[in-house]
Structure 1
Amino acid sequence: MYNNTFGNIFRLTSFGESHGKAIGGVIDGFPAGISIDEDFIQHELDRRRPGQSALTTARKEADKVEFLSGIYEGVSTGCPIGFVIWNTNQHSNDYDNMKDVFRPSHADYTYTQKYGVRDHRGGGRSSARETIARVVGGALAKLALKQLGVTVTAFTSQVGIYKLDKDYTHYDLSVAEENPVRCPDPEMAKQMGDYIYNIKGEGDTVGGVISCVVKGCPIGLGQPVFGKLHAALGNAMLSINAAKGFEYGQGFGSMNLKGSQQNDLFYNDNGHIALRTNRSGGIQGGISNGEDIYFRVAFKPVATVLMEQPTVDVNGRETVLQARGRHDACVLPRAVPIVEAMTAMTLLDYYLLDRASRLF
């Protein structure tokens, strides 16, 4: 298995399986001299961890990060940053009835066909537990981006049939962390939460959309051909478990507009070039233009449902599977910090690429 490394200059290589001893990673290319707030990094992990509300899986994992290298007296040294999060609360027996069957819409079948072997306990390497390493990498990237004045904020904008009816500029995004759904509209958050709770009671699952907003991004990140910034963000988002779609700016929502209606017009704002609108989502020609970058990521319903479903075993015999164990009914609340993490790592990587490509 290869392609366990993300990034070009800022590079995260993750390792570990959901029911192995640990999940961890090595970060290469992180700048020296960045103050490392380990409490902030742990807080980011706490936002992703299971068992944080009645809407998420009941599994309890402390998810405490232990740094092994690359940090001295609270400051990055420029050396590779190694870290590990020990797995402490696996219930591997919950997966015994899945050992010889293929779970619908999981990676079981494709892994078996490709590698000839798979870890049936929670999906092994294909488990979303691998994203712990991404959150650590993203938290470090956020600390570096903070010095550039760049902020990354994601939030739940749709759960099933319930969705926000205005764009992000109409909401106070800081209140999203005040409810378990992570939606910036408290009234809509309650409806979303009630819906997830009811779906969970049925043993079923539901999907939705996470929106993300980047403020303070410098002009010039990205390349105009194969290194487009929006393509890099799309690649990062679609590498997240259960992600099914990506759109930036007005995306598919502007397909009914004419070019004259879609274009962002320039004007002179007291000697500075500015835009009257930001339908492009902060990226034009594959390069950041200094406006807010905003995009949306669609997540499918969690594939593990706690009800009987027909399937086949490893020998092709038809059978029925009823999953057991502790699973999320909706991935969105816990995926919000993952979306932020992948965004932050992409932006820091492309900032470092931009610096490396310029002589002055």
Structure 2
Amino acid sequence: MDQIHLISLIFIFIFLIQAYFYFKYFFPFAFKKNKTSLGNQNKEAVSVIICAHNELKNLKQNLHLFLNQEYEGYEVVVINDRSNDGSKEWLGKQEKFNPHLKTIHISKTQDDYNPKKYALTKGIAAAKNDIILLSDADCQPVSSRWVDRMSQSFNKSISIVLGVSLYKKEKGFLNQFIRFETVQTALLYLSFAFKKEAYMGVGRNLAYRKSFFVANGGFKDLSSIMGGDDDLWVNRHAKKENTAICTHHESLTFSIPKRKWSSFFIQKKRHLSVGKYYKFKDKIKLGLFHSSQSLLWILFILGLMLGSPTDCLILSFFILMHIVGQYVVFYKLSINFGIKFTHYKLPVLEILFIFYYWIWGFYASLTKHLKWK
């Protein structure tokens, strides 16, 4: 067997691995029907929790969206963590005129605690309701029914609800890449959770029961790790019987994306650094997906360089099937999420993502000293 035939055979095998992920996870999730859950029929009270460290600009821009939700019996708890930008004074004024708003001010973090997790722990302890709905100061709920939609996914057996959080569309290739990376991440964790194999969530739109959080020791064993207050916590505690997803277009949140590559890489270094703490089965599954995604393109390029016209035609047929499958999934998600995406650039964005994921992910895994803000 010559070299090109071996490459072609391995390429087809890798293609089948990718096809497995698409047919088991991605297509069923993308084409699922968005049904309004009747779980929280009693309209349980909700506590929205937002941690803010020197976020006065974002609070002025976004807080009113959290305070004007169409939902009875909810509160917004803002934890002002060691801010020196005037947040304390401004929040004090807002609290006088907003009955939904409660503010907590932290001047010093406990020595053995990560600052973000310490702030969250204080906020959850102060929350008066059992359903905790998390977001960030730089996030914007897409609608005034965000709290309502997220709360509807709860019932007596559900303790964790994974939501969707995306980035706003702006000009430039960096924005396109950030949005691609975010949608692919959402596709992975939501489609796996849809198949009862949840492994992470994002703290910009995540809900769980306070009673469940306390019963499981809060951030015990995670308190000193930078990051992981969302994905690692979900990775430790999500089970097929206690986790649901909420993907209704009214339940999304949006954030302002980074506008410089350097800022984006710093942000993602913190996010990628916690992947090494995932459960072994999740690392294997994610590693298989990302490895096969990378090898598919590497072998395709090698095949084009070394193969005959017939070999190139066969490889091109399979890579076209991959691109079409990806296009269909992203197009359907764009409709489901109510967003617009530049679909014709998907192959370019995917190839760039492969370089970014392996190079920056490896570097992030070696990084020990990270800071929140």
TM-score in same-fold range (> 0.5): no
Structure whose residues are more often helix by fraction: 2
Output the TM-score relative to the length of structure 1: 0.22
Structure whose residues are more often strand by fraction: 1
